[in-house]
Structure 1
Amino acid sequence: MKTHINIILITAAVLAGTILLIVDYHRATEDVVIQRFRAHQTMVVRQLTQEIEQYLRARSQGAQVLSTFASLQHRDMKKMAAEVQAYFEYVKKDYVKAISVYDENGTIIYSTTGEAIGRNYADCDFSQWAAKKESKSKLFISSLIRAAENQNDRRPFFRFLIAVPVYQEARDSRYPKPTHKFAGVLTVTIDLEEVIAAFLPPFSNNTSIQHVWIVDTSGIVLFQSEHPEMVLNSNRRRDETCVRCHVSFDYVKKILAEKQGAIEYSPREQARKVATFAPLTFENVTWIIAVNVPFDEVTGFVNRQLTRTFLLISLIVAALIGASALIYRSNRSKIRAQEEAKQWRERRGLEEKVRESEERYRQLVEGSPDAIAIHCEGKIVFVNSAGVQTLRARTTDELIGKPALEIVHPDDREMVKRRIEAVLAEGKPAPLVEERFLRLDGSVIDVEVAAVATRFQDKPAVQVVVRDITERKRAEEALRESEGRNRDLVEHSSDLICTHDLEGKLLSANPAATKLTGFTKEEFVGRNLREFIAPESRRLLSSYLTRIQATGSASGLLPVVTKSGERRIWEYFNTLRTVGVSVPIVRSLARDITDRRRMEQALRNSERQYRLLFENMLNGFANCEILYDEQGRPADLIFVVANSAFEQMTGLKDVVGKRLNQVVPDYEELSPALVGVYERIVTSGVPEAFEMEVKPLGKVFAISAYSTHKGYFAVVVDDITERKMGEAELLKSKEHLELLTRHLRNAREEERARISREIHDELGQSLTALNIDLNWMQEQTRVTSESRKKLTSMLRIVTATIGNVQRIASDLRPAVLDDLGLTAAVEWYCEDFEERSGIRCRAALEDVEPVEPTNKLDMFRLLQESLTNVARHAHAAEVTIHLSRVKNDITLEIIDDGIGIDQDSLSASASLGIIGMRERVTECRGEITISRNKTRGTRVVFTLPAGV
């Protein structure tokens, strides 16, 4: 009985130990599951932050490119609206809700949401930031925006703005010169909730948008779908809602302090949760993105497995107790022997399994294609053969004892050092990450590294598995670039690229299908080729399909009918694809050549018209090629083409294909520099026109030459012999006319001088004598009072007549001009003009003598004519005269403050005074300038040579 009790007690102890082991194994399994889940969720959060950062970067780059458009910088509203709307249509599928353009005052001048236009946001953070000079060429992420529909609703949209300042810097001939001034702000509105929802599904089935929340580094909640009332509030708020949900907020403090990692926390009335978090830094914001998952979603299956295990153990215990009792009664010795034999076999089996496991591990490590190494206390203590090859060492001895961080790229050492410390401190596996290693030869490789804590010679160590991914990354990058290029080529190709099956049904098409046919892509794909082919050519479709199946390719011309009913001609190049597809398909490249064929026909017509024009034009035309000698100098030219007019004008026959020295052997004597001129035209590409006299022919040619392409030039020849002869006759007549005019003017001046002298000498002396006699008679006492009055009247008449005679003599030929010179004559005439006209006359005069008498008189006459015009037409109150001399030129400047002369008066043929002045100045080889002042009045400037 005592033995039986002992057996029962032993069985109970074994069962209790088994239960404890199962519980301990459950806890260990739970820890491993949690560690792995943390590592997985950490990767999820990092990938989520990377995806969001890449998304923000892509949207920001697009906004920066859009801000450089000239239409935004110069506010071309029509073009701005078209370009902004086109970009919005392109990106709205990427969770962009609006694009708005603000002026420098913060008022929306255009928005893809029309109701926002006209609103002012000058007080918003992004407007104030953009107005600063240091914000130029930068980006700004705004805070979340609130719902505009209900101002009483304090809950915001989960939306924010990407703001880019706009400056007038684009150079465009259609707009004014850029001022480089601040012109406003461009904003792109992003829906944060849609972005997060879009990026979550690819990562984890255990993660949903309800598990995600975002805070900034100051503790402001930016995203929390379970508690939207918390958004834009600080997490430090401790109201009744928060106390109901949370026992402690230490986990939030830890998240804000560490910014990256994983923690566990327990809400008040909910299951324990696991939170993994990572930072996202972009431009002016740093967000911490956290993913919360209930603890039972992670360990639930382990707990369920434990419950099943306990139920199974209970059944086994009950069966064992019953069986033990029966077996004990029947054969206690046999049971004991069997139990001992079983234990021995199990122990031997376990030992064998341990040896086999160690051998498999050794073979796995040595045969692994990945590098496996162990480092202890910072030094490498083990490395397999793959590691030796990866690091390009000759033997393991070159690596054993080497500092582990020495093979890590300097830029990654700080991160690797933290990972090693975390693995040793926490004893948890480090997630798989990409790093860069330095081989012993100095080259850099990209690797994937996984690390786990282990022990080496009873010391804590780290085992790492390293995979060289250098070639893979290069291949991935090359593949991305290749796919991007090919996709871009297909999507932006102006040619139709499509596929169809062997019955003619269209399977796919690029956007060019819409442009070429007028059908949308949805209308185009899925229909049969027969529907687009012109009716008279549809019968050829069957033979085309048969031919491409037989030969694998087909090409030709295809008449088609567009959606609008227009007939077009396509040129197609098709091939059959049989590799990589379950059913053969046809790849098709089609190009609309309708316009090209029309242009070809137009070109043929144009060439025909050109040939008719070429052969029937009255001007001579020739196209020539420059020939060079061995030193590269122009030596001769050859006629490529010449029309009949050229041969008739020059007297040269059959010049095409011949050299110049063959048709004109003595051309160097006639015009030595002719070939050089043509070579200069060909080299510079600048057309030139010149005249050439050919004395043997007795002709003069006008030649226009220009370069057609490298080494060739064309000449247009016109016979201007008769025109040159007419010009010579005209020039001779002009010279004779000028001589005659000069002679008449000189004769007129001489006659005026003679008349002036005779009036002064003869009439003047007679009037003076008469004046003396009248004065004598008036002084006689015998004269009656009535006679005295009559004598006084006669004296006044004689005195006035003397004055008139003097004035007429001066007008005909002022004596002061001959006696005192030009300066004195101008001063005298200015005073006389002011007295006669009442117009104030200001004179600034220099001594300009000596002056040739004829030019002196001409300058005086020009002064008289100009002041006469001022008195008659200018309505001026003041006139200013400047007389000066510079070297051998005399300048007379007359400026009035009158109404000013208009352009019609300057160019009118009836302005005889101006015409006379121009002729006189021309005869004296001088210059005249007549212009209207900016404010009022006219300015006349005469410049004549002094002549001495």
Structure 2
Amino acid sequence: MEIARQDSVDQLERFRSLFEHIDDAILDCTPEGTIVGWNPGAERLLGYSAEEAIGRSIMFLVPLDRQGELESALQILREGGRIEPIETERIRKDGSRIQVSVRPSRIDDRDGTLVGFSGILRDVTERKQVEEALRREVAEREKTEQALRRYQAMIDSAGEAILGIDPDGLIHSWNPGAERIYGYSAQEMVGRNVSHLAPPSKQAEVDEIRARILSGQPARNLETVRQHKDGRLVEISLTVSPVFDELGRVVGNTSLAIDIGARQEAERRWRSVVENAPDIILVADRQHRIRFINKTEHGEPPEALIGMDIFAYIPPEHQDMVRQKVESVFRTGQPVSYETRAVDLEGRQLGWYASRVGPVKRGAEIDAVIMIATNITERKNAERELKRSRSKLRSLSARLQSAQEKERLRIARELHDELGQVLTALKIDLAWLEDRTEEGAQLDRIAAMARLVDTTIGTVRRIATSLRPQLLDDLGPSAAIDWLTQEVCSRSGLHYRFRSNLGEERFEGERGLALFRICQEALTNIVRHAGATRVEVELERQGSQVTLRITDDGRGISEEQATGSESLGLLGLQERVLMLDGSVEIEGWADRGSRITARFPFNPSDTSGAEGFRA
């Protein structure tokens, strides 16, 4: 009995020694959670002395967001369950959080009754940091491996030849692009010297590149040639970059070659086309400096113009317009066209050019414009001659029309003054005879003669009016055109409407007569060709402009009919308008009619002149 008691005392002493000297924190608490045991390890881990901790609730060490976790664990222990170690957090005396592994357990008396809980806390901060560092290292390694796989996939799918070369010039990597450009497989080239790809004439170049690389300097965009497996030369653009180790030492290089044979051939063809083009083709940068020009037309070599400002060859009166056009291309990327004169550096006129300007892009940016200038001096001269010829023809036409109108006026006056007076005298004589003749055959004959004279007088009046309507001179164009519309429509069975805001204002001279003749020609054309049932004529003055508008509901005139050489009436109508500095518009809609609109300038100050209105 005494021996058993001594064994219990020794065991208790060992437990106390373990409790006092273990590095882990050991906490004991009542079933209600009041701390009753606190070892030195707990003081080292959590910062509180035994005097500060014993008697307080275990919850003062637990963060609010972790208290539910501890309550659940204690409830499991109360119900007789077991709890595996939990990795959680506790609060130190200084307020910081510490990551711990907690192993809670239940304390029972000899009867198995719950008398408290015990918990062993171990600091796992360092382990967690190691785990986090390891996790980051694994993630970084995976990221690096993914990047390497992407990089290798890019190398394998690249159209360029990409080689890895060691400091001695031996190839250690060879992508499919290299096989396409040089013809050799990776098995054939890995381990061989890169100089194997260079023809004899380029061996010195290989040595120069190697020396440059060993000095740490890259060789960029070198246009050169290398030898294909089949012996032909391949034109390439070569970039070689040194590869450094962590100490900054050159441990090899990467070679990237682009096959530019097709580009070079395209450039040669393009240059041949450009140099032999009939037009001047130039490229200008954002500062308007010439970077390329294929030729000149006045003796200077093209090279002499490189770097010159394009505006040095444009006369001052055209520079603002050209500048706006060029800047528009830089701003919007949309091509523009314009015509301008060109001058030499002394300001002498060189001729006319039609220019088309478009953008030159580098990537998404516009860094230059291309100009194509066509010499149109001969065309301009021809246009000027044609304009003079048209002016002469128009002047001749005006004189002819004036002569026609004068002749019409003369004939109308002679019909009125001469033939009209004779017919009037004859009618008077017949009336005298009628008064002195008895009834009978002779009286009937005289009456018939009188009726014939009346008919002849009416015919003479109608002919005289058609030659020169007296209404035009007496009451002005509004009344004359109203009468004309009524006459034409009544003879042809057309319904009509006439509207005018001119009142009794009159044109004198050519303008009033031109309005009348234009309306006459338009109405005649409608009657002959339109198949219309209704006509509307409008005469309107708005400010300094007079508008004559004739609309019908016929079959509609086509553009070809309006401008065709066979439409002589419409051509004459247009000429009359143009001679008076007016404009004419002819519109037609299939089966919906046509509209002719003539507009004349009108200066209110001319109301007393021969060419203006008269009240």
Q: TM-score, normalised by structure 1?
A: 0.43
Shift of 1:875: 2.0
Match of residue 594 from structure 2: 938
Contact 1:622–1:715 (CA<8 Å) still a contact in 2?
Answer: yes
Greater displacement, 477-486 / 684-693: 477-486
- Distance in 1 between the 2:391 and 2:426 partners? 51
CA distance in 2, matches of 1:767, 1:438: 138
Structure 2 equivalent of residue 816 of structure 1:
471
What secondary structure sits across from 1:758 in the alignment?
A: helix
Q: Is the 8 A contact 2:498 2:536 kept in 1?
A: yes
Structure 2 segments unaligned to the other structure (5+ residues): 108-113, 159-174, 195-225, 231-235, 241-253, 607-615
CA, structure 1 residues 363+916, in 2 after alignment: closer, same or farther (shift >3 Å)?
Answer: same
CA distance 1:930–1:698, shift in 2 (3 Å): closer
Q: Is the 8 A contact 1:701 1:717 kept in 2?
A: no
State the 1:827 CA deviation.
1.9
Query: Which consecutive unaligned segments of at least 5 residues does structure 1 have?
Result: 1-339, 367-371, 498-512, 518-531, 549-555, 561-568, 574-588, 628-633
Local SS of the residue matching 1:844:
strand
CA contact (8 A) 1:681 1:707 kept: no
Alignment of 1:897-936 (within 5 A): 897-933=553-589, 936=592
Q: Select the residue among 840, 860, 865 that pairs with 2:521.
A: 865
Task: Give 2:388's match in structure 1, choosing from 709, 726, 732.
Answer: 732
User: Residues 767, 386 of structure 1: CA spacing in aligned structure 2 closer, same or farther, 3 A cutoff?
Assistant: farther
Displacement of 1:481: 8.8
| Alpha-carbon distance between aligned partners in 1 of 2:60 and 2:430, rounded to the nearest angstrom | 137
CA separation in 2, counterparts of 1:657 and 1:756?
72
How far does the alpha carbon of each residue in 1:706-726 deviate from its partner, in whole angstroms, 9 at most, with x for none? 665777665555554444443
1:109 — aligned with what? none
| Offset at residue 701 of structure 1 (A) | 4.6
Report what 2:299 is aligned to. 651
1:625 Cα deviation (Å)? 6.3
Q: 1:150 corresponds to which residue?
A: none
1:700 is the counterpart of 2:356: no
| 3-state SS of 1:881 partner | strand
Within a 5 Å distance, the mapping from 1:766-785 to structure 2 comes to 766-784=422-440
The amino acid that maps onto 2:489 is E
Relative to 1, partners in 2 of residues 1:485 and 1:717: Cα closer, same or farther, differing over 3 Å?
same
Bigger RCO (CA 8 Å, 6+ sep): 2
8 Å contact 2:556–2:589 — kept in the other structure? yes
Q: Is the 8 A contact 1:900 1:933 kept in 2?
A: yes
d(CA) in 2 for partners of 1:382, 1:768: 155
Which runs of structure 2 are paired with 1:274-673 in the superposition (5 Å)? Answer: 343=4, 347=8, 350-351=11-12, 354-355=15-16, 358=19, 362-365=22-25, 396=48, 416=66, 418-427=68-77, 472=132, 475=136, 479=140, 482=143, 486=147, 489=150, 493=154, 495-496=156-157, 541=187, 544=190, 597=259, 600-623=260-283, 640-643=291-294, 645-646=295-296, 649-653=297-301, 655-656=303-304, 660=308
| Matched letter for residue 916 of structure 1 | G
Alpha-carbon separation, structure 2, partners of 1:673 and 1:373: 100
Of 786, 790, 802, the match for 2:457: 802
Contact 1:855 1:946 in 2 (8 A): no
Cα drift, residue 697 of structure 1: 5.7
Structure 2 residue 482 is matched with structure 1 residue 827:
yes
Cα deviation code 1:11-31 (max 9, x no counterpart): xxxxxxxxxxxxxxxxxxxxx
User: Does 2:536 correspond to 1:885?
Assistant: no
Question: What is the CA-CA distance between 1:839 and the residue it aligns to?
Answer: 0.9
Match of 2:326 among 668, 681, 688: 681
Superposition RMSD on alpha carbons, in Å? 5.7
CA deviation after TM superposition for structure 1 residue 946, in Å: 3.0
Whether contact under 8 Å (1:681, 1:688) holds in the other structure is no
CA distance in 2, matches of 1:870, 1:438: 106
Q: Is the CA contact (8 Å cut-off) linking 1:432 and 1:448 kept in structure 2? A: no
**Change over 3 Å in CA distance of 1:733–1:376 after alignment to 2:** farther
Q: Which residue of 2 aligns with 1:241?
A: none
- Are the counterparts in 1 of residues 330 and 369 from structure 2 also a CA contact under 8 Å? no
Q: Which residue of 1 aligns with 2:163?
A: none
* Deviation, structure 1 residue 853: 3.4
SS in 1 for 2:23: helix
Q: 1:763 aligns with which of 390, 399, 419?
A: 419
Q: Do the aligned partners of 1:375 and 1:462 also contact (CA within 8 Å) in 2?
A: no
User: Which residue identity does 2:578 align to in structure 1?
Assistant: T
SS at match of 1:882: strand
What's the CA shift for 1:832?
1.8
The Cα of 1:669 is off from its aligned counterpart by: 12
Give the 3 Å change call, closer, same or farther, for CA 640–490 of structure 1 in structure 2.
closer
Shift in Å, 1:885: 1.1
- Find the aligned partners of 2:91 and 2:28 in 1 and give their Cα distance: 15
Judging changes above 3 Å, is the alpha-carbon distance between structure 1 residues 430 and 491 closer, same or farther for their aligned structure 2 residues? farther
Residue 750 (structure 1) aligned with residue 409 (structure 2): no
Structure 1 counterpart of 2:341, one-letter code: E
For the structure 1 residues 613 and 459, does the alpha-carbon distance in structure 2 shift closer, same or farther, using more than 3 Å as the test? Answer: same
Distance 1:682 1:545 in 2: 56
Aligned residues: 506
Residue of 683, 691, 712 corresponding to 2:341: 691
SS in 2 for 1:944: strand
Amino acid at match of 1:699: L
Distance 2:502 2:303 in 1: 69
Compute the displacement of 1:698 (Å): 5.8
Alpha carbons 1:454, 1:463 under 8 Å: kept: no
| Alignment check: 8 A CA contact 1:678 1:713 kept | no
Cα drift, residue 732 of structure 1: 2.3
Contact residue 314 and residue 342 of structure 2 kept, 8 A: no
- CA deviations 1:157-193 (Å, max 9, x no partner) are xxxxxxxxxxxxxxxxxxxxxxxxxxxxxxxxxxxxx
Contact 2:283–2:368 (8 Å) recurs in 1: yes
Change (3 A) 1:479 1:772: farther
Aligned with 1:685: secondary structure?
A: helix
Question: Which amino acid is 1:651 matched to?
Answer: G
- Identify if the C-alpha distance between structure 1 residues 459 and 383 changes in structure 2 by more than 3 Å, giving closer, same or farther: closer
2:219 corresponding residue in structure 1:
none
- Residues 706, 713 of structure 1: 8 Å contact kept: yes
Deviation string 1:581-602 (CA, Å, 9 cap, x unpaired) is xxxxxxxx999x9xx74xx222
Asked whether the 8 Å contact 2:24–2:123 carries over to 1, the reply is no
Judged with a 3 Å threshold, the aligned counterparts in structure 2 of structure 1 residues 653 and 911 are, in CA distance, closer, same or farther, namely same
SS of corresponding position for 1:931: strand
Alpha carbons of structure 1 residues 740 and 768: separation in structure 2 relative to 1, 3 Å: same
3-state SS in 2 of match to 1:656: helix
Q: Distance in 2 between matches of 1:448 and 1:375?
A: 21
Q: Deviations over 1:255-297 (max 9, x none)?
A: xxxxxxxxxxxxxxxxxxxxxxxxxxxxxxxxxxxxxxxxxxx
Q: Is the 8 A contact 1:688 1:706 kept in 2?
A: no
Alignment correspondent of 2:497: 842
Q: Tell me by how many angstroms 1:463 deviates.
A: 8.2
**Structure 2: distance between partners of 1:382 and 1:913:** 125
1:883–1:472: structure 2 CA closer, same or farther, 3 Å change rule? farther
Contact 2:24 2:121 in 1 (8 A): no
Give me the TM-score of the superposition, normalised by structure 2. Answer: 0.63
Q: Distance in 1 between matches of 2:450 and 2:41?
A: 142
1:344–1:419 distance in 2 versus 1, CA, 3 Å: closer
CA distance in structure 2 between the aligned counterparts of 1:767 and 1:405, rounded to whole angstroms = 141
Query: Is the contact between residue 682 and residue 711 of structure 1 (CA under 8 Å) also seen in structure 2?
Result: no
**Quick one: percent identity of the two aligned structures?**
26
Taking the aligned partners of 2:228 and 2:314, their CA distance within structure 1 comes to 63
